[in-house]
Amino acid sequence: MKASILNDEFFNNLDSSILPIEEAETLPPFCYTSDEFYEFEKEAVFNSEWLCVGRVSQLDKPGDYFTTSIVGEPLIVCRDLKGELHAMSAVCRHRAMLVAEGNGNKRSFVCPYHHWTYALDGSLRNGPAMEKTCNFSKSDIRLPPLKLETWLGFIFVNFDHDAAPLAPRLKYVEEAIQRYDIANAEVVGPHQTSVFPWNWKVMFENNNDGYHANRLHHGPLHDFIPSSMASFPKLPDDTAGYLRYNGTLHPDASFNATQKAILPIFPKLTKDDRKQLIFANIPPSLSLVLTSEMVIYLIVRATGPETNEMDVGELVAPGAKNVPGFSHLVEMIDSAAGKIMAQDQHVDELVQIGLRSRFAVRGRYSWQEGAQIDLNNWLVPRYKACWQQMRKSKLGTPERDSTSS
């Protein structure tokens, strides 16, 4: 049997990924390819962090719901008849059928298999022909709830009921992007969901990356956002998110063939705001690309060691949808952004293949990759704290303790 690579030496070696960028190296390729590391990462990250699942605007009316899944957990997110939001497991408490699919509006969730019926808060209301079953009490049964928080119109859930609130640790990110007024921005249409054959961190690092901007994307659709104008503000150590600012060669730069905004500008932006793009990242699931006319949101959902799903949605200023030809203007943006994303996705797919190679190494960084260090600084302490916890509770199987002699 293959020995576990998860040991003290492995976790001590991660420290080289959180050195100053001039000295740091990338995370080990194993972190992107291994089943064992993915299972560890669920414990270290996904079981206790806030995970973005969608926008509040997907749940306008009482009874509205949508389903999603992350790290293999099927979830329902809904608005109950009193208007309160809930997130819960979609797995029926009878024999594990998923009680809802897709999205829509319901007064209750009726499991299609044997018609157990759950209220919108997840409590079991009815289980037909269960009256002869011993020690069965409907009132004890509910779809397990998740903690839920909203931030700027995004819905976040957490498997950990003791998780500290998210918003206080997003104070600095929120201040940096407040003039986009994302909470009140309007969604352009339903988001697009894609399934990808690469690790969620490959996706997230690509969303973060200033270095490739005018190299991989060299050409008239991106050259006006040069990598050389990227900067990475230092945020407090406990921040739940981080930022890249990227100056642009002209104001109101936009991803379309005219290179300039073609939709109404977010009205509170200053002259300086309009001379840059902001990339905001809230790991492990939400990346935002903020231009003067549109906020593109990317919800990355880990689905396995070498797979992820991503929802891509677009937000515009209130009232922007009323401008003549709005849908055609959005098509112009989608056409250019789609070409850029196709370049990214081609690279992501081949990076994942490269990471599996025996020749894959821990690489070095350019100064234009500051956001990768920010992600490492978010990840590595979580990995190390979880490993220490596992060792303490004897759930881990450390091979040797390299901290003692």
- Positions touching ligand FES (CB under 6 A) are 92, 94-95, 97, 111, 113-114, 116
Q: Can you tell me the distance from the alpha carbon of 265 to that of 293, in angstroms, rounded to the nearest whole number?
A: 5
Whichever of 136 and 388 has its CB closer to ligand FES, that residue is 136
| 9 near Fe ion, rule: CB under 5 A | no
* Edge-to-edge strand list for the sheet holding 124-126: 109-110, 117-118, 124-126
Shortest Cβ distance from residue 42 to ligand FES (Å)? 25
Shortest Cβ distance from residue 95 to ligand FES (Å)? 4
Per partner kind, with CB cut-offs from 5 to 8 A, the member of Fe ion, ligand FES, none near residue 260 is none
Whichever of 94 and 362 has its CB closer to ligand FES, that residue is 94
Nearest to 208 by CA among 332, 40, 379, 354: 379
Q: Which range in 49-57, 117-125, 265-273, 337-345 contacts Fe ion by CB under 5 A?
A: 337-345
Q: Can you tell me the distance from the alpha carbon of 109 to that of 147, in angstroms, rounded to the nearest whole number?
A: 20
Per partner kind, with CB cut-offs from 5 to 8 A, the member of ligand FES, Fe ion, none near residue 107 is none
Query: Any idea what the Cα angle at residue 248 is, between residues 317 and 329, rounded to 5°?
Result: 40
Exactly one of 344, 362, 381, 390 binds Fe ion (CB under 5 A); which one?
A: 344
Per partner kind, with CB cut-offs from 5 to 8 A, the member of Fe ion, ligand FES, none near residue 320 is none
Residue 60 phi, psi dihedral angles, 5° rounding: -65, -50
Shortest Cβ distance from residue 389 to ligand FES (Å)? 35
Got the DSSP string for 52-85?
Answer: EEEEGGGG-STTEEEEEEETTEEEEEEE-TTS-E
Shortest Cβ distance from residue 261 to Fe ion (Å)? 20
| 43 near Fe ion, rule: CB under 5 A | no
- Nearest residue to the partner Fe ion, using Cβ: 344
Helix 200-208 to helix 370-392 angle, to the nearest 10 degrees? 150
Whichever of 5 and 97 has its CB closer to ligand FES, that residue is 97
Shortest Cβ distance from residue 368 to Fe ion (Å)? 13
With CB under 5 A as the rule, give the number of residues binding Fe ion. 1
Per partner kind, with CB cut-offs from 5 to 8 A, the member of Fe ion, ligand FES, none near residue 346 is none
Per partner kind, with CB cut-offs from 5 to 8 A, the member of ligand FES, Fe ion, none near residue 344 is Fe ion
| Amino acid at site 276 | Q
Per partner kind, with CB cut-offs from 5 to 8 A, the member of ligand FES, Fe ion, none near residue 113 is ligand FES
Helix (H) or strand (E) holding 173: helix 171-177
Shortest Cβ distance from residue 112 to Fe ion (Å)? 41
Q: Can you tell me the distance from the alpha carbon of 33 to that of 42, in angstroms, rounded to the nearest whole number?
A: 14
Shortest Cβ distance from residue 128 to ligand FES (Å)? 8
**Length of the chain in terms of residues written:** 405
Q: Can you tell me the distance from the alpha carbon of 371 to that of 375, in angstroms, rounded to the nearest whole number?
A: 6
Could you tell me how many helices (H) and strands (E) the chain has, helices first? 8, 18
Helices (H), 181-299: 200-208, 213-216
Tokens representing 360?
């894959």
Under the rule (CB under 5 A), what is the footprint of Fe ion?
Answer: 344
